[in-house]
Amino acid sequence: MKGIDEIDKKILRSLSENPELSQVELSEGLKISQPAISARLHKLKEIGVLAHSVGTDIKKSQLFLAKMDIVTTGTEDVISFLDKCPLYLNSFLTSGKYNLTVLLVGENMRSIMSCVDSHMRNNPLIKDMEFNLIVTPIRDFIVPIRPILEKKKTIPCETETDCSSCTLYTNNRCLGCPASVHYRGSLL
C-alpha cells in the first residue's frame, strides 16, 4: 500500500499485539509524539488498514467453529438465507471446486451440526458441500458474535415453526436456535 511506512507498520504491529494500547503508550514505545500517533492512526483508519472490532475470543469462551465449503449457483440467495441465522459469522467467495466458504459459531458442536443437517444440506441452491468442524485456532481468534436479546417463538430461517417440533432438539442433540424462546444455551 502506498503511504505506509515503517512507523505505521510498528503501530499496526503494536496494536495487533495489544489492541488496548493508548496513544500515549504508543507514543512512548515508538518514541514519537502523541499528536503524530493520532495523525497516523487517523490516516490508517481512513485508508482501511486499521479497523476496530469488538468480539469474543473463541478459545477463551469455548465456542465452536465450523466451516462449510459450498458449490452453489445462487450465492446471493444462500448468503441472504444465512444472514437470518444467529450461528452465521461470515462468508467468503472462493475459487476452485467450491465457490463459497461459510463460517458458523455455536456453543456446542451438535447444535452447529444440527443446523447444517436441518437447514443447509437439503437446500436446493446448494449443489455440493463439505462441512468441517474447526478443532481449535492456533492464534487467538476474535469473532463478532450477535447475541439475540429478544427470543421469539418462531425461528428466523422459517424452515420450521419452532425448535420444540424438531427431533434433534427434543432428543437433546441441539441447544435450539439462539433466536428462539426454546434456546437452551447461554451466550448466543
Q: Is residue 156 part of a domain?
A: no
> At residue 104, what are phi and psi to the nearest 5 degrees?
-120, 155
Same-domain check for residues 63 and 131? yes
Cα angle 89-91-94, degrees, rounded to a multiple of 5:
155
Domain count, the chain: 2
Same-domain check for residues 93 and 117? yes
Contact 67/102 with Cβ under 8 angstroms?
yes
pTM above threshold 0.85: no
Alpha carbon distance 61, 112 (integer Å): 16
Strands (E), the chain: 56-57, 64-72, 88-93, 100-106, 126-134, 142-143
Contact 120/159 with Cβ under 8 angstroms?
no
Q: Is residue 158 part of a domain?
A: no
Same-domain check for residues 60 and 135? yes
> Tens digit of pLDDT per residue, the chain (188 long)?
678 999 999 999 999 889 899 999 999 999 999 999 999 999 999 999 999 888 899 988 889 999 999 999 999 999 999 999 999 999 999 999 999 999 999 998 999 998 898 889 989 999 999 999 998 888 888 898 888 888 888 888 766 667 878 888 888 888 988 988 889 988 88
User: Residue 96: which domain range?
Assistant: 56-146
Same-domain check for residues 63 and 134? yes
What mean pLDDT value characterizes the chain? 90
